[in-house]
Structure formats: structure tokens, C-alpha cells
Amino acid sequence: MDYMITTKQLTKKYKSFVAVNNVSLNIRKGSIYGFLGPNGAGKSTTMKMLLGLTAPTKGSFTIDGKQFPNDRLSILREVGSFIESPSFYANLTGKENLDIIRRILGLPKSSVTDALELVGLSEFGGRLAKKYSLGMKQRLGLAGALLGRPPILILDEPTNGLDPSGIHEIRNLIKLLPGLYDCTVLISSHMLSEIELMADDIGILNHGHLLFEGSLEELRQNALQSGFAADHLEDMFLSMVEQDNAARKRRAKL
Amino acid sequence: MRTFAMELRKEKRTGIIPFMLAVGILGAAYAFAFFLVQKDTLFNLPLAPMDVLLTQMYGVIMVLNMFGIIAAACMIYNMEFKGSAVKKMYMLPMSVPVMYFCKFLILTIMLFLAIAFQNLALTKIGLTDLPQGAFEFEAMLAFAGYSFITSMPVLSFMVFVSSRCSNMWAPLGIGVAGFLSGMALAAADHVLFCIHPFVIMLKPAAAMSAQPDMIVVMFSLVETAVFLSFGLWAAKYLRCE
């Protein structure tokens, strides 16, 4: 199997708190990988490690066969990312913000217009980023990630703050991306119902532990075997998390 | 060069460049106004004309420059932290220490321009108001260079502090505390106080002679290099955790 991102026993500890615990992910090239988990499960921390924003305490990972920190610049050139909340220069317009990123990536001028069009921000490109609504800031962040159509996209809850039609629009866009220019997408969310509509493969994380990794079909089979209806994957996800939490409490009591 | 040009683009609408130019123009205007009003009093002082010209107005000009540096350093990093823009920079294929160095360079150039404006005003006053033959161009240049070099430790220190504090009020407070403690220590003769970057900047204002003090110059150069190195080293370690 041709994997674009692989992690091996990836672990991140903050003093005594283990945010990510021995997580081994395998993300297929050209697929959309949904990274699921409740708030505080360690999704963002894992993504931050993949982007070199924080160093792993243990374990390793490769992105397109390259490793941090030796290949930092080469990896970041291939990855479009959007982590936690949109990051932008408040004193610059949307277009100027993207132009800064374009210059760093050495892309042609047309890539800014292209990215603005992709996220539906074309008519607001000249407005100061600080005057954008939350949804528009989110779109600007996404445009920054999509700039130059990178082969790998790491998106942390990109639909946060968007209205239902915005969520639908962005979801459709993300769904189209691998077909559009053969990119690999790692997208996180705490809602299975959302990931279910986009992802080819899924990884479920709870308290830093990877509870499940496989295709959506495998998750459905798993749901049926556990007595859940295959069309109620959300229940299956919640039950998986609850079971893990209960087991955790029992271990803590012992 | 590419990062420097990009940093200049980022400064758009932050007001840093016009602000530092305004500091220079205000300092120049103060020199003209003060000399116009106090000319006779100044020439009655028991000092050489060039010492009068260079040292007697420098106190206020230096305070203006100091607060200019403090505010500009806070502003230059505040725009990175506001909107978490710096986080995006960490995720892009660029060197964060180079970005830091370019910010340092922009502020250095702006301070240089501000000091140039102020010294142009002093040159004009020297040429028109000092007694015939009293104006010495070399002394003027030496003092301009001296005031620039002694201002650099504060600039280097403030850029370092601003780069490490996401809340703009923290470096601003440190700057004000530095100014107040510097004022208290500047008059003391002990050479060890020169470790304090704000004391260094206050030294030419506290002196009665325009002759550069080489010990102060040495301290300035070393401190500028030390704080710059600290900043470049710290910039390697991202603040995202």
C-alpha cells in the first residue's frame, strides 16, 4: 500500500499528562482520512506534531517519505495546513494575507485568485481580514491551506464557525480535492456524521489512544458486529468512546 | 532579501514606519524650537559650543527615541500575535530566525533614519547659530554615530522581549520599567551598571561632553550582539506548544 503519511508509536507528553499515546496512523495516498475524536482527544496535538509545531516525546513519522526536523522545509512546501483557528494578519486584507503565503511558497500571482475562488471569498478579497466574520476567517484560513494546491492537506476542524450552507460547500470542496489534483487530505472533526460524508478512511482517537483505524466500510462491519445499525455510526462512535472512558475509570480505581 | 521585502509588506497599516519617521521629525522639531527659545541661556553655559549643541538637547531627543523604539518593537511583533499570524508562518517553509532578523533590521533602519533627521536639524542649527568656526562636522558625525550605537542595545533587547511575549502590554511594561530603572542608574559611575541596556542609552544624555566614551561603545556593541543572538536562538524554538 502506498502511504503518504505514516506515524509509528507517536507519543506526546506534557509533564504527567499524555496527550497522544503510541498512535500509529497509516494514511493512503490520494485518500481523505477522517481523524475523529471528542474534544481533547489529541487530534490537534497529533496534527501539530506532523507540522513540526511541537516535537514528539516518543515515536516517529514520515510524510511523503520525509522526516522532521531534517526535511522540515521540504515537508512544509508540500503541506497545506489549517490548525485550530484561522491565522492571519489583521492589518492586511484577505488578498494581501494570501499574497504573503504565495511569496513564501514562490507561487504565481494567479494562485491567490484561484484560492479565493475555491473558498468563495473572491468578492471579499479586498476587505481587511480583521473585519471578516468568523466564517470568512475560516474560509481565509482554508484558502491559505489550499494555496498552490499542495499534495497534502492537514485540516483541523475546518468547518468550525461556518453556517450550514458554508459547511456543505466546504465539505463538497474537500470531497472533490483528491479527484481534482490528486491530493491526500487529513481532516479532523469531533462529529462522525460530518466525516462520514467525506472520508475514505477513519481513525478514532480518545484520550490520546487510537481506538480504531480502517475504512468506513470496516467501521460499518464493526458496528454491525457490535449490534449497532450500520446507518447509525454516530451511536457506534459514541459508544466506543464511552466504553473506553469506562474502562479508563475502572483502571484508575484499581 | 525576499524575506525582508515580505516583512516590509507585512508592516502595511501597522504604522511602524510613519511612527518612527515621526519620532525623527519630532526630535528635529524639538531641537529647533528649544534652540530658538533657549539660545541665550545655552550659550551662557560653561561648555564648548559643540558640547552645548550636542549634549544639552539630547536628553529629550533620546527619551523620544527610547519610547519610539519601545513602541515600535511592541508593534512589530504584536501584528504577528494578533490573529495568530505567526502560527501560520511556523507552518510555512521559511526560516523564523530570518524573519526575526528582518524585523530587527527594519527597526534598525528606521531608528537610523530618525537619528539622521534629528542630527540634520542639529547640523542646521550648528551651521547657522553657533559662533563662526565653532561648528565641527566631524564631532557632529561622531556624536550621531555614538547616539545610534548606544541606542542599539535597547532596540535589540526590546525586539527580543517583544518576540517572546504574545501580550503587547508585557514588553511595553518591561520597556517602561527599563526606562525608569535606567534613569535611576544612569548617573552612577559604576561601569557594571552599563550591563543595563537602558543605562547605556542614557549615558550620552547624562554626560556633559560630546566626546564618545569608548567603554560605553564597547558595552553597546557587545549587548546588541548578545540580545540579537538570544533572539535568533529563541526564534528557532517555536512558541506554539
pLDDT tens digits for B121-169? Answer: 999 999 998 888 889 999 999 999 999 999 999 999 999 999 999 999 9
B94 in reach of chain A (CB within 8 A):
yes
For residue A126, is pLDDT > 60? yes
Q: How far is it, in rounded angstroms, from Cα A53 to Cα A55?
A: 7
A100 in reach of chain B (CB within 8 A):
yes
Interchain contact, A130 vs B88, CB within 8 Å: no
- The pLDDT score that the predictor gives to residue B124 is 94
Nearest CA to A96 out of A77, A86, A109, A81 is that of A109
Which of A12, A20, A87 has the highest number of chain B CBs within 10 A, making it the mutation to test binding with B?
Answer: A87
- The pLDDT score that the predictor gives to residue B131 is 87
Helix (H, G, I), strand (E, B) or coil at A79: strand
| Exposed/middle/buried for residue B142 (C-beta within 10 Å: 0-12, 13-18, 19+) | middle
| Percent of chain A scoring above 90 in pLDDT | 58
* Beta strands, E only, B132-181: none
For residue B229, is pLDDT > 80? yes
Handedness of CA B171, B176, B177, B181 (dihedral sign): positive
A56-67 confidence digits (pLDDT tens): 999 999 999 998
A109-118 confidence digits (pLDDT tens): 999 999 999 8
Q: How far is it, in rounded angstroms, from Cα B182 to Cα B176?
A: 10
C-alpha pair distances (Å), B206 with each of A77, B69, B186, B213: 53, 19, 7, 12
Which of A104, A130, A186 has the highest number of chain B CBs within 10 A, making it the mutation to test binding with B?
Answer: A104
Look at strands A209-215 and A201-206 and give their pairing: antiparallel
ipTM: 0.86
Cα A223 from chain centroid (whole Å): 24
For residue A33, is pLDDT > 90? yes
Interchain contact, B2 vs A103, CB within 8 Å: yes
Nearest CA to A231 out of A220, A241, A222, A240 is that of A220
Reported as a pLDDT band with limits 50, 70 and 90, residue A250 is confident
